[in-house]
Amino acid sequence: MSWTDVADTVGLLAILAGAALNLATAIGLLRLRDTFSRQHAASKPQTLGVLLVILGVGLTLRTGLDIGMLMLVGVFQLLTIPVAGHMLTRAAYRRLPTPDATSPPSPPPPES
């Protein structure tokens, strides 16, 4: 078994693990109720999932230009995914109604 076979196998496992994390992100976005929980589910596992997919593709391709481009994509993903999640959560927080002294408290959400 040569090192290219090992790199292909590890690359395949990294791609599968990244795809599973991205699937968990999608399921979390559909199942969680409030905006803040959804943003947490959208940003945390998605970052690791995308980086695992990039790692797997890099181990499979193994050329200098491809690895350089994948590293650039990985850096941009590390910079943009958490910031976008933070900005969306901040915008949702700012749109929350402010409670005033005359309004009664809102009822809890219905249980499903």
* 12 part of a folded domain: yes
Q: Which domain holds residue 20?
A: 3-94
- CA–CA gap between residue 47 and residue 65 (Å, rounded): 23
- Residue 46 belongs to some domain of the structure: yes
Q: pLDDT tens-digit profile of 70-90?
A: 999 999 999 998 898 889 888
- Structural domain count of the chain: 1
Question: Does 30 reside within a domain?
Answer: yes
Q: Residue 100: is its pLDDT beyond 80?
A: no
pTM for the model: 0.79
